Amino acid sequence: MFLAMNLESELEMLGQDVVGMAPDAESALALAASESPDLALVDVNLRDGLTGPQIAADLVKKHVLVVFVTGSAKLVPRDCAGALGIIEKPWLPKTIQQLIPFVQAHRTSEGRPVLVSAPCHMQLAPAG
């Protein structure tokens, strides 16, 4: 939980509105339903086990951009469950700083190729 609080603080310092943290799948999906976030940063393992990929797949269907932030990158499905990619813990502040314009470019690209470089130390999901 400490890393999640650190990430929340970093995002807020970058001017982002953080709608909350969720310890398990049920809380994550309820939070996303009530807040309609633009982006969800999802770990692979939550309190209720390996539920991150299920959360990501559900959020992507609801047009939420997802990035995995995890120490268990090997457990992310090959297709990243529809997520943009993976940032491994521990992350660098520079990676989170670069993530914001990258996500904004994806949000506004409407299916066109994104010209903004991926953040350093972010593994992109396979194309297609």
pLDDT tens profile 116-125: 788 999 999 9
pLDDT of residue 115: 67
Please tell me the predicted confidence (pLDDT) of residue 116: 76
Residues 6+ apart with CB under 8 A from 45: 51, 52, 70, 72, 75
Q: Coil, helix or strand for 67?
A: strand
Ranges of residues in the chain whose predicted pLDDT is under 70? 110-115, 128
pTM score, two decimals? 0.93
pLDDT at residue number 7: 92
Residue 108's pLDDT is what? 83
- Give the tokens for residue 109: 């690209």
Predicted local distance difference test score (pLDDT) of residue 51: 95
* C-alpha distance from residue 74 to each of 78, 124, 128 (Å): 9, 14, 20
Domains and CATH numbers, the chain: 2-124 (3.40.50.2300)
Instruction: Look at the block and give the residue holding tokens 């903004």.
Output: 116
> Residue 55, exposed/middle/buried by CB under 10 A (0-12, 13-18, 19+)?
buried
